[in-house]
Copies of this chain bind each other. A is one copy, B any other.
Amino acid sequence: MKQAKATAHTRLIKILKQNSLNITESRKKILQLFLEQDGALAHGDIEKRAGEKFDRVTVYRTLQTFVNKGIVHIIPTADNAIRYALCKDDCSEVGHDDHHIHFVCDNCHTTYCLDDIVTPDIRLPKGYSGRHVEMVVEGICKNCK
């Protein structure tokens, strides 16, 4: 128990250090939320979910930092609520490199990264050149079935 907690804590610090970020309470707590979470988190979730309340500005700035560093990525949605999820591919300050698809449940609205499914290649019309493909599937998830 104590061991597990220590390990989780170590993992947090390791991730932050790898990205040359200073170790702060906010970053640890917000990152912790992502690690113990299956799906993606919207800004609002984070503000509420955290036991103690963060300043809204801190959450915004921390998420921005995480996105810049390639720790989390943004999932595009149709409902004006940006969702963030941990990057599992090779993301860094240089650029994000997520190629998996996302799944949003119609029922519980949880957003999942389906890491094993790779976005297919697309043949674009003449004149267009693609850099990145985002794919979001809507439907019913494994828990709501």
Contacts and interface: CB of A to CB of B under 8 A. Distances in A.
A123 B8 CA distance: 33
A76 to B, nearest CB: 4
Contact of A139 (B74, B131, B135, B136): B131
A125 B132 contact: no
Interface stretch (A9-17, A19-27, A31-39, A112-120): A112-120
A133 interface: yes
Contacts of A123: 117
B76 A78 contact: yes
A113 to B, nearest CB: 11
14 contacts: A76-B76, A76-B136, A78-B134, A103-B124, A114-B124, A114-B125, A117-B125, A122-B137, A128-B142, A132-B137, A132-B139, A133-B138, A134-B138, A135-B136
